[in-house]
Amino acid sequence: MGVMSVHQFAQCITCHAWSPDHSMVALCPNNNEAHIYRLVEDKWEKVHVLQKHDQVISGIDWSTGSNRIVTASHDRNSYVWNLEGSEWVPTLVILRLNRAALCVQWSPKENKFAVGSGAKTVCICYYEQENNWWVSKLIRKRHDSSVTSVSWHPNNILLATTSTDGKCRVFSTFIKGVDAKDSKKGTSDSKFGDSKFGELIVQLDLSSSWTFGVKWSPSGNTLAYVGHNSMIYFVDDVGPSPLAQNVVFRDLPLRDVLFVSERMVIGVGYDCNPMVFAADERGIWSFVKYLGERKAVSFGSKYGTQFSEAFGKFYSQSKQGVSNDAVESSRTRGFVHENCINCIMPHMEHSTLITRFSTSGLDGRIVIWDLEYEQDLLEL
C-alpha cells in the first residue's frame, strides 16, 4: 500500500500545510494555535508555535516562493506570518467579515490570497506597498451560504469556490495595480481577459447538497469538486458552456480533492480512506479504487483474529470514550486514518505528476502517501 509515513501529531487536526522544501509542516491541532514541526532524525520536533488567533484556525497555507504562512480562523481574521531571523512575525489582515473565516489559499503568484467565509463572501487580499498593509477586497452577494473551499486557477486571476448552497462558482479576481494587463493576455484563456473584479464567470448548479473541496487540474482545464451526496463532479471547458460529469460512489461523502495529474484525482473524506478517480482516453471519469487497504492482522488461528478484533474494539472505546456502534468501529478499523480526513496537500512533484501527498483529519494524524508504490495507478 502507498503509505510512506504516519504520525500522530494531536487529538485532531483541522488543516495542515508544508514548507517550500517539505522539511516542515504547519498544522492546527484544533485550537487557536498553529504548530510547526520539523523532521529531525526521523522524529518530528515542534519548532514554532504561531499564537495570535483567538479561535480555531480553519485554514493554513504556506507559500513556496516567498516562504510566508497565511492563517484564517473562526475569529474572523487572517494573519500573514513572515520569518524574521528565527521568529515568525504576524501581520494582521483585517478581512472585514462578520462570520468565521473557513478556508484560505495563496494565489499561484503569491501576490494575493483568497479567504472563504461563513459570511457568504470571499475575501481577496493583496499587499499595498505604500501603506505596508494587506488589503481585503470582498466578493459580496454572490453566495447564498458559507464558502467552504477556494481554489486558484494557474493564471492567478480565476478563483473557484464551493459553498453550502450547493453551487460551485468561478470568479475573476483581477485587481488593478496588482495584476498586470499583459498577465491576462499572456494566459491561455484570453476569453476572460477583460473580466472585472468579482465578475461571475460561471455558476455550476450540479449538486443538491453542500459542496466542498474544489480544485483545478494542473493546467487549469478541468475543475473537480465534491458534493455531500456522495458524488464528485468534474467540469471541463469552464466558461459559458461548461461540460460537466458527475460520478456517484457507494460510500460516504468526500471532503477534499487533489489532482495528482491531469487525469487522476485523489478524494478524501468521511470514509477515512483515500479514493482514486481517473479519466480514460475519452475523458470519462470513473472511480478506480481505494488507496488504503486494511492492515492485515497476521494471526494464524481464527481465535487469534477474533480476540484481536475484540481487543481492538475495547481499546478504541476506552480511548475515545464514545459509542458502542459496532458497525462504525468495524468500518473504520484497520485503515491508516481512523476518522474523517478533511485535508489533502501535495507533498512532492515530479514535473507534471504529484507522486506524494499528505492527508490529515479528525484523528490527529498526518499520513504521507507515495504513488510510486502504486504501479498500477502510474500506468493509467
Residues engaged in binding other proteins (CB under 8 A): 208-209, 227-231, 248-253
> Residue 146 or 173: which CB sits closer to other proteins?
146
Cα angle 137-141-146, degrees, rounded to a multiple of 5: 90
- Minimum Å gap between C-beta 19 and other proteins is 36
Q: Counting Cβ atoms within 10 Å, is residue 132 exposed (0-12), middle (13-18) or buried (19+)? A: exposed
For CA atoms 369, 375, 376, 380, the dihedral sign is positive
What does the chain come to in residues?
380
Cα angle 163-33-93, degrees, rounded to a multiple of 5: 60
> Residue 208 or 330: which CB sits closer to other proteins?
208
- Minimum Å gap between C-beta 251 and other proteins is 5
Give the residue among 334, 366, 341, 325 at the shortest CA–CA distance from 272.
Answer: 341
- Minimum Å gap between C-beta 272 and other proteins is 13
- Minimum Å gap between C-beta 260 and other proteins is 23
> Residue 296 or 327: which CB sits closer to other proteins?
327
How far apart (Å, rounded) are the C-alpha atoms in residues 5 and 14? 19
**Could you tell me which residues come within 8 angstroms of residue 294 by beta carbon, excluding any fewer than 6 positions away?**
333, 334, 335
> Residue 111 or 229: which CB sits closer to other proteins?
229
- Minimum Å gap between C-beta 122 and other proteins is 24
Residues 175/128, Cβ–Cβ less than 8 Å: no
How far apart (Å, rounded) are the C-alpha atoms in residues 24 and 20? 8
- Minimum Å gap between C-beta 248 and other proteins is 6
What are the cell numbers at 292? 488504503
> Residue 127 or 335: which CB sits closer to other proteins?
335
How far apart (Å, rounded) are the C-alpha atoms in residues 341 and 14? 9
> Residue 215 or 228: which CB sits closer to other proteins?
228
* Residue 157: φ, ψ to 5°: -110, -50
Residue 90 amino acid letter: P
- Minimum Å gap between C-beta 321 and other proteins is 25
- Minimum Å gap between C-beta 335 and other proteins is 15
Residues 218/231, Cβ–Cβ less than 8 Å: no
> Residue 75 or 251: which CB sits closer to other proteins?
251
- Minimum Å gap between C-beta 228 and other proteins is 6
Give the residue among 263, 266, 264, 284 at the shortest CA–CA distance from 275.
Answer: 266
Helix (H) or strand (E) holding 378: helix 375-378
> Residue 195 or 211: which CB sits closer to other proteins?
211
> Residue 22 or 331: which CB sits closer to other proteins?
331
